Structure 1
Amino acid sequence: MTLVKFANGHKRNGLSPLFTDAFESFFNDSFVSDRFTAKVPAVNIAETENHYHIELAAPGLKKEDFKINLEKNMLSISAENKSAAAGETKKYNRREYSYSTFVRSFTLPETVDHANIEAQYTDGILSVNVAKKEEARQVTREITIK
């Protein structure tokens, strides 16, 4: 006996349910979806009055593995984990975290101070602080009502 799923309310565009379900199950399979998704760390970007803050989650790496470059207004963060690639003797049944090499690039606005960019790697989080130019900082003041 075969169980056939039918999605109520979804248009199938004229394809038979078996044909559509075959493609859905193929692309939702973890073996296939792992190959199609980018293996890059997640990033949080925040803005304060004086800085832009970029936090990149990359556990298992060392600060020596990272390379941060600035070319014009493009900030590139890359990493290569040489120790994981060389001499691997384990046979994995499933391997979900494999940030052996990656590159993340960010276009910075014209308002950043290129000379004042700092980075720190602590507890698996790479934090990059990009300072804003003095004229780009928001001036706040209270306006009195006459």
Structure 2
Amino acid sequence: MTLAVSRTFRRPFWVTPFGTEGRRDFFSNRLWPELLRDKDEDLAPNIDFIEKDGKYFLNAELPGLKKDDISISIEDGYVTVSGKKEINKEEEGTSYYLKETRSGSFTRSFRLPGKVDKENVDATFKDGVLTVAMSLEKEAETKKIEIN
């Protein structure tokens, strides 16, 4: 039988005598996973938000969700991604030895660094990854006025 051992690097206590290392281990999820877990922690997606080639790109990892479970909105200088995941209820007569699948919802909002052309936003969802491409609003060009 093989037993996997997880070892985390810890700094010696004399380097940071008042640090948070010991507290972090004491309150780790290994001791009280359900008590310390944030309700929406499991469903909140990992998101990258970048600017490239005159566009903002938001990439969100959303495994297990379908296109219809996701909504995106742009309002008041913020882009918001929301989602909802529903898992079938437990079946009668079934013994679960481990059940880590979760139901719930999430909402993530990000302030846009600049103005976005709301008419030129594209969203794709493929292989559990949502990509939102938002074109930057073109700045008004300075117009020189001739005096008659």
Q: TM-score, normalised by structure 2?
A: 0.67
**What RMSD in Å do the two structures reach over aligned CA positions?**
2.9
Deviation, 1:54, is 0.5
Deviation, 1:32, is 5.5
Q: Secondary structure at the match of 2:27?
A: helix
Is the contact made by 1:68 and 1:77 (CA closer than 8 Å) also made in structure 2? yes
Deviation, 1:134, is 2.2
Give identity over the alignment, percent: 27
1:73 equivalent in alignment to 2:77: yes
Q: What does residue 119 of structure 2 align with?
A: 115
Q: List runs of 5+ in structure 2 lacking aligned partners.
A: 1-11, 141-148
The change in CA–CA distance for 1:109 and 1:99 in structure 2 (over 3 A counts) is: farther
Q: List runs of 5+ in structure 1 lacking aligned partners.
A: 1-5, 14-19, 137-146
Instruction: Tell me the number of residue pairs that the alignment of Structure 1 and Structure 2 aligns.
Output: 121
Q: What does residue 17 of structure 2 align with?
A: 11
The CA distance in 2 between the partners of 1:8 and 1:32, in whole Å, is 32
- Aligned match for 1:38, one of 36, 41, 49: 41
Q: What does residue 89 of structure 2 align with?
A: 87
More helix by share: 1
Amino acid aligned to 1:9:
V
Deviation, 1:41, is 0.8
Q: TM-score, normalised by structure 1?
A: 0.67
Is the contact made by 1:26 and 1:32 (CA closer than 8 Å) also made in structure 2? no
